[in-house]
Amino acid sequence: MQWILIAAVLAATAGLLVLGVLAVRLWADVRTLAREVDAASRALGAAAGQLTGR
């Protein structure tokens, strides 16, 4: 019966590790996306400035 408890703890630990890795990957993807959105908005602002002659 004790091996069932150990297996459950190991499975829960493995699940938490997987969730942690996925959270880090999501954070990295969001950071990359934020940089791309920032660059695109700056490019659009510069283009709009050129259209208005500023």
Distance CA(22)–CA(51), nearest Å, equals 43
CB-side neighbour CA atoms (13 Å) of 11: 6
**Cα–Cα distances in angstroms (integers) from residue 48 to residues 13, 29, 42, 54, in the given order:** 52, 28, 10, 9
Place of tokens 């969001």: 30
Averages of pLDDT over runs of 10 residues in the chain (54 residues) are 93 98 98 98 94 78
**Model's pTM, two decimal places?**
0.70
The pLDDT score that the predictor gives to residue 33 is: 98
The pLDDT score that the predictor gives to residue 53 is: 76
